[in-house]
Amino acid sequence: MTTDFTADLDLALCIADEADAVTRARFGALDLKVSDKPDLTPVSDADLAVERLVRDVLGAERPADAVLGEEFGGDAVFSGRQWVVDPIDGTKNFVR
| Domain CATH for 35 | 3.30.540.10
Rounded Cα distance, 54 and 86, in Å: 10
% of the chain residues with pLDDT over 90 = 88
pLDDT number for residue 85? 97
Residue 81, by phi and psi: left (phi above 0), alpha (psi -120 to 50) or beta?
A: beta
77: pLDDT strictly greater than 90: no
The verdict on residue 51 lying in a domain is: yes
Instruction: State how many domains the chain has.
Output: 1
- 69 close to 52: Cβ distance less than 8 angstroms: no
Show the domain range for 86: 6-94
36 phi and psi angles, rounded to 5 deg: -105, 140
* pTM (2 d.p.): 0.91
